[in-house]
């Protein structure tokens, strides 16, 4: 989903489509966008820690056994800035494809992407959810709207969609096993 956010922001800024891997518009790449966002967020986070106001993880990592509940949990944890709780919804061997089309195996790189975005304290609303289920696997799609403050202090509203594959794993509930953020649900 983070890459869908990046794509929507990028398209809004450039007025262009971002379909090609490694696309650059106005001299900013996805990595540059994340660095820019993380730089501003790091200052905000350090200031918050100094004041004792740094957000703590919600710690709600109970397994999600209801298929649609996986999006409710994802949205709740994302909006709370609960990186650990959010990552608990991903299989350790998740295949994550970022907006540039780079495939990453495992949750470490996914965690890094989300950490940069969560530092901006965005709020997301996930709707229009659809699930195509085969036994313990589901292809899922959704549409979302997201609000965040950009590095210049301007409120930004973005919309987009997501395509994921989740699997119901015994004892762990529904977990994301594929998150292809290089495409968007239409």
Answer yes or no: is pLDDT of 144 > 50. Answer: yes
104-108, 117-121, 166-170: which is most confident: 166-170
What local confidence, expressed as pLDDT, does residue 160 receive? Answer: 80
Q: In the structure, what pLDDT confidence band is assigned to residue 57 with cuts at 50, 70 and 90?
A: very low
What local confidence, expressed as pLDDT, does residue 177 receive? Answer: 97
Answer yes or no: is pLDDT of 111 > 90. Answer: yes
What local confidence, expressed as pLDDT, does residue 17 receive? Answer: 44
Q: In the structure, what pLDDT confidence band is assigned to residue 120 with cuts at 50, 70 and 90?
A: confident
Indicate the pairing of strand 103-105 with strand 155-169.
unpaired
Neighbours of 80 (CB within 10 A): 18
Mean pLDDT in residue range 149-163: 86
Domains and CATH numbers, the chain: 2-180 (3.10.450.50)
Instruction: Tokens for 117, please give them.
Output: 């975005």
For the stretch 21-53, pLDDT in tens is: 443 334 444 445 554 554 444 443 433 333 333
CA atoms within 13 A on the CB side of 181: 25
The continuous run of DSSP H or E covering 13 comes out as helix 2-14
Q: Residues 82, 57: contact at Cβ < 8 Å?
A: yes
What local confidence, expressed as pLDDT, does residue 81 receive? Answer: 96
Tell me how far apart the terminal alpha carbons of the chain are, to the nearest angstrom.
14
* SS3 call for 61: coil
Q: In the structure, what pLDDT confidence band is assigned to residue 4 with cuts at 50, 70 and 90?
A: low
């Amino acid at each position: 989903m983070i890459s869908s956010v990046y794509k929507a922001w990028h398209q809004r800024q450039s007025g262009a489509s971002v379909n090609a891997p490694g696309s650059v518009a106005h001299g900013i790449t996805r990595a540059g966008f994340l660095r820019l966002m993380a730089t501003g967020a790091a200052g905000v986070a350090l200031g918050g820690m100094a004041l004792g106001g740094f957000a703590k993880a919600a710690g709600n990592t109970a397994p999600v056994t209801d298929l649609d509940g996986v999006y409710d949990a994802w949205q709740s944890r994302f909006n709370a800035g609960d990186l650990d709780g959010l990552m608990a919804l991903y299989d350790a061997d998740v295949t994550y494809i970022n907006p540039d089309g780079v495939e990453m195996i495992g949750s470490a790189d996914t965690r890094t992407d989300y950490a940069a975005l969560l530092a901006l304290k965005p709020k997301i609303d996930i709707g229009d959810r659809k699930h195509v289920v085969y036994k313990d696997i589901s292809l899922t799609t959704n549409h979302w709207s997201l609000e965040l403050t950009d590095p210049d202090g301007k409120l930004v509203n973005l919309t987009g969609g997501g395509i994921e594959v989740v699997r119901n794993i015994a004892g762990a509930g529904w977990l994301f096993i594929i998150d292809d953020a290089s495409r968007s649900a239409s």
